[in-house]
Amino acid sequence: MQHDPYTLARLPVRKRDVLEVFMKFGNRKAMRVVEALPERDGVLDEKEIDRLLVRTHWEMQRLGEEFYHGPRVYELLRGVIDAIRRSGFKDELKVVDVGCGIGYDIRWLAARTELTKQGVELTGFDLNSALIHEANRLSAAERLPCQFLHGDAFSLDHAGHIFVSTGVIHHFRGAGLREFLRRHERPETQAFLHFDFQPWFLAPFGSWFFHFLRMRTQVARHDGVLSAARAHSAGTLTEAARNAAPGFASGIYGAKIWNTPAPRVFHTLIGIRRPLIDGLGKALGRQAPRLGELR
């Protein structure tokens, strides 16, 4: 999918162009997946692509549920919110999910926690209108206190105090990653939490295994493996964050399982304003040792 960077209007995508990208990487599996995508006159059929994306995100939600991702996000987010409140901030806190898809994280938080009753506004953003439409439909079905908007999460119209994301940051590479992190540098933003695969040698195999077991769509199966393979290391993430968003103390949360050397499947790039660091440590309590060096 492609969008106009200014209007965010969707742009037509030629199947041939997508195939050429994967041909350059020698990724024949991806080429087979792309070959099977529906097209009209050489242009990928937008409605069918939207259906494919919704289908894939439905399957990803099942994985998120199985791996308790909602509670995982809440454990850390709760600590960050507590740290911000301890600093004296009493106004409504805006939590913004960047690239929310069908909004599983935000919907889980709205349905299973008291955050919205504690003065927290939950909002999800995505560039794909079909996914946002689905997120709003699912949210309305349960009458959840959250909202989903089609657009740029970092636009000036929507000031987020805490930005979160899941499985998004590995899509940004090099200068794109630094630019993504630079956009967090806004006066009102107090913290960011970006959850993503943690790279290690078994990650692509583990990802393939679970995507094969739990998903039906070829795109989801293939992209799941690729995502694990493309995941950024802790060093890459923290270096990019410290250079691009120096107003935050950045580090990695949850790299290892308990006190073992075993890596967690997901780790979290966390950035927080320096005056809040002590408060975060106190708020996390027993989970504070999971926090790596913040600087």
Partner 1 sequence: MLGAQVISTTALVALLVVNRLSPNQAELVGDLEDAAERMLWVFVPYALAVVGSLALRIIPSTDLRSATSVFALGPFTAIRPLVMVAGVLYGIWRSQLLETRVLGLFILGLMLSLEFFLNRVVGARQEREIAEVV
How many residues of this chain interact with partner 1, rule: CB under 8 A?
25
Among 36, 159, 257, 288, binds partner 1 (CB under 8 A): 257
Question: Considering the complex, what minimum distance in angstroms separates the CB of residue 234 from partner 1?
Answer: 18
Give the footprint of partner 1 on residues 81-120 (CB under 8 A). none
Give the alpha-carbon dihedral of 102, 62, 45, 42, to 10 degrees: 130
Q: What Rg, from alpha-carbon coordinates, does the chain have? A: 19
Of 52-60, 83-91, 185-193, 232-240, which segment contacts partner 1 by CB under 8 A? 52-60
Question: Are 149 and 124 spatial neighbours (Cβ–Cβ below 8 Å)?
Answer: yes
Please tell me the distance from the alpha carbon of residue 273 to that of residue 133, in angstroms, as a whole number. 34
Among 158, 171, 178, 264, binds partner 1 (CB under 8 A): 264
Asked if 205 touches partner 1 (CB under 8 A), the answer is no
Asked if 45 touches partner 1 (CB under 8 A), the answer is no
Please give the C-alpha separations between residue 278 and each of 198, 230, 282, in angstroms, as whole numbers: 26, 33, 6
Asked if 228 touches partner 1 (CB under 8 A), the answer is no
Asked if 173 touches partner 1 (CB under 8 A), the answer is no
**Cβ distance to partner 1 smaller for residue 73 or 241:** 73
Question: Are 177 and 245 spatial neighbours (Cβ–Cβ below 8 Å)?
Answer: no
**Beta-bridge partners for 273:** 248
Please tell me the distance from the alpha carbon of residue 57 to that of residue 216, in angstroms, as a whole number. 12
Asked if 180 touches partner 1 (CB under 8 A), the answer is no
Nearest residue to 217 (alpha-carbon basis) of 20, 66, 58: 58
Asked if 210 touches partner 1 (CB under 8 A), the answer is yes
**Beta-bridge partners for 248:** 273
Please give the C-alpha separations between residue 211 and each of 1, 63, 110, in angstroms, as whole numbers: 22, 8, 27
Among 18, 33, 44, 54, binds partner 1 (CB under 8 A): 54
Among 72, 107, 170, 232, binds partner 1 (CB under 8 A): 72
CA triplet 264, 266, 270: central angle to 5 degrees?
A: 110
Question: Considering the complex, what minimum distance in angstroms separates the CB of residue 209 from partner 1?
Answer: 7
Give the footprint of partner 1 on residues 121-160 (CB under 8 A). 130, 133-134, 137
Binding site for partner 1 (CB under 8 A): 47, 50-51, 54-55, 58, 66-68, 71-72, 75, 130, 133-134, 137, 206, 209-210, 213, 216, 257-258, 264-265
